[in-house]
A = this chain, B = another copy of it.
Amino acid sequence: MSKRNLYLQTVPVEEAVEKYSAELAKVLRADTETKAAGDCLGQVTAAAVFARCCSPLFNDAAMDGIAVRAADTRTASEQEPLLLTEGKDYIEIDTGDPIRLPYDAVIMAEDVLVEDESHVRITGAAPAWQHVRPIGEDIIEGEMLIPSGHLLRPVDIAAAIAGGNAELEVFRRPRVAIIPTGDEIVSGLDGKEGAAASGSIIDSNSYMFSGMVSEAGGLAQIYAPVEDDYEKLKTAVLAAAEESDVVIVNAGSSAGREDYTVHVLREIGRVIVHGVAIKPGKPVILAIAGGKPVIGLPGYPVSAYIDFENFVLPVLNMLTGRQGTNRKTVKAVLSKRLVSSLKHREYVRVRVGKVKDRFVASPLARGAGAAMSLVKADGFCVIPQNSEGFEAGEEVEIELYKSPQELGHTLVSIGSHDLILDVIADKISLSSSHVGSMGGLLALQRGETTIAPTHLLNMETGEYNVSYIRELFPGRKMALIKGVTRIQGIMVKKGNPLGIKGVADLTRCRYVNRQKGAGTRVLLDYKLAQLGIDPAAIDGYDKEATTHMAVAALVAREDIDAGMGIESAARAMGLDFIEVGPEEYDFALAQESLALPEVQDFIAVLKSEDFHRRLAKMGGYGWERSGEIVIID
């Protein structure tokens, strides 16, 4: 077996940032440039901007009307209007026109009686400087308009220009080179087809970095992927350091066999930090090569994102002159326990929604590979390095992406998963966590969700959902919003090669189950009990997936033969489907929640024709009672 960098040393996050910043401060200089003021939006002033002229440039008219000599108008009155002659006693002016001596006052057009083309009468005296906007009223020559270190907004640029500054001195946008590495990488621009052709990993990280660089005020350039080859990587990094201000190498930052990055950087420069006590994101490399910051980011998208925010952004801010921005925070109740290690600071993505008068944070998938957890997240819960985590129900601080107002409009749903939740989330703002039917009802009990999607069969009566709610919420006024009926069945590979006809045949295949508490699993157990089959007889009964689509995806591949789920999931993955029976997928909630606007919007979607058309297209659904309300007292 080949050599590896098995034992990464890790340093605390702050220490890593400080150590790297201190080293960079010795070699990095923020370049400035002088350019047309109109092109400086989002850049930071490198010097204070002073007014080179006054604005207005001269005394000017604050009203439309006529300019007069105040002293000449003293005798005018309602009784004896004064006749004035154009060119001699007055000139016509519009707002903004210069008022020059001998004229020193303006009479509004509304107060002038027009005699003929070149004569008017006025009915009152005009005090000196009436309706005259004095020179420099807005901007005085020599005054400071914008301090240095200021992020330029449209109004700043306009004021600088109004003060006679055609050009501004700003910090130059840093050029950031992004080098994707790895034999297995194909460009994200090739899409599914490119990846399918080579059986490789689609490079999506580079595009995330590129967007983050743009948002931070830099100019990103994505380089062609470099294969796992020491010399080629070295050449690429040296070239990028020559052409750019910052270099990002992705991935190749961990301790794997082919992770040459750290060795290359040690040869051509200095590695300041390799390994930080952060999760996800531990194997980051902070180095200096060719006099430029070179940062090795891990390949997992969430690790890459968190390391970019913690280690690349501060470097970009040194160059752009921007201030680091503090995220908005909000206090929220954790919907489930979060255990973490004392070894690192952990960033857990959460969805946040308002349930009654408090915010509830539901942790999303914690894996470093869970890119969708970044898309779905409303914010981060940060577990400090010296903490073992937080208990369910504990109030924690959430670093938000969104404003608290936006969160207030999100409908929180915790419970069973169905594809229709995606369809609904395309219409309204929905925070949906998938913990199975029973998990959802328990969250509803704890006040952590507004609605709980559920499909739980009463094995004695054959009725769905109602008896469970009655039992779990004694004495509380509850309701059920009817969702859809759907066909549950067994998904098998196209053509059904093992000839599976029903639940009894599951004992002779490789199966994948749903997690405990999931309605689909309850249905399987019910059917197995009816048939007198021991669950242990099924190979894979203990192998769990948490959604219908996850089961379908597994069945579509070589190593799994069957799984239970809904017809739409089987269809979506091109699988065959053996019907087991229909079931009712509904939404439990407190009666008082029915009045909430987000719940009303939700019901409206369930009843809409567009929704029913989508269901018809997906297949396997009935919508006769969708949106109907069942009161459970």
Binding site for B on A (CB under 8 A): 1-2, 4, 6, 36-38, 41, 48, 52-59, 62, 64, 66, 86, 92, 94-98, 100-101, 104, 109-110, 112, 114, 117, 120, 129, 133-148, 153-159, 161-162, 164-167, 182, 184, 188-192, 194-196, 199-205, 207-212, 214-215, 222, 251, 254-259, 299, 301, 305, 326, 328, 365, 367, 369-372, 374-375, 403, 405, 419, 422-423, 425-427, 543, 545, 547, 549-550, 552-554, 556-559, 569, 572-573
Contact = CB atoms under 8 A, between A and B. Distances in A.
Given A52-B191, A64-B257, A256-B94, A137 B367 contact: yes
Given A143-B422, A154-B215, A191-B167, A1 B374 contact: no
A182 B95 CA distance: 12
A349 to B, nearest CB: 10
Contacts of A139: 371-372
Contacts of A556: 141
Nearest to A251: B96
A576 to B, nearest CB: 16
A137 B365 CA distance: 10
12 contacts: A1-B92, A2-B92, A37-B188, A41-B210, A64-B257, A133-B369, A135-B557, A141-B549, A158-B211, A158-B371, A159-B204, A166-B189
Given A137-B367, A549-B142, A192 B53 contact: yes
Contacts of A403: 326, 328
A603 B182 CA distance: 55
Contacts of A165: 191-192
A124 to B, nearest CB: 17
Nearest to A53: B192
Contact of A553 (B136, B167, B256, B543): B136
Given A41-B214, A195-B53, A210-B154, A549 B140 contact: yes
A573 B142 CA distance: 7
A5 to B, nearest CB: 10
B553 A211 contact: no
Contacts of A38: 188-189, 207, 210-211, 222
Nearest to A182: B96
Contact of A143 (B204, B255, B370, B549): B549
Given A55-B371, A210-B38, A188 B159 contact: no
Given A161-B202, A301-B162, A1 B66 contact: yes
A207 B154 contact: yes
Interface centre among A98, A189, A191, A204 (most CB of B within 10 A): A204
Contacts of A255: 64, 109
Nearest to A120: B1
Contacts of A136: 549-550, 553-554
Contact of A1 (B1, B52, B112, B419): B112
A148 B287 CA distance: 41
Contacts of A553: 54, 135-136, 140-141
Give the copy number: 2
Contacts of A140: 547, 549-550, 552-553
A86 B1 CA distance: 9
A319 to B, nearest CB: 19
A115 to B, nearest CB: 8
A325 to B, nearest CB: 8
Contacts of A167: 191
A299 B96 contact: yes
Contacts of A161: 188, 191, 202-204, 207
A244 B182 CA distance: 45
A114 to B, nearest CB: 5
Nearest to A36: B189
Given A57-B199, A543-B129, A371 B2 contact: no
A422 B210 CA distance: 38
Given A41-B211, A96-B251, A129-B543, 14 more contacts: A1-B117, A37-B189, A53-B192, A54-B553, A55-B371, A94-B259, A98-B199, A135-B557, A140-B549, A142-B569, A144-B425, A147-B426, A158-B205, A328-B403
B195 A57 contact: yes
A70 to B, nearest CB: 12
Given A64-B256, A98-B199, A211 B52 contact: no
Contacts of A1: 66, 86, 92, 109, 112, 114, 117, 120
A451 B550 CA distance: 63
A573 B164 CA distance: 15
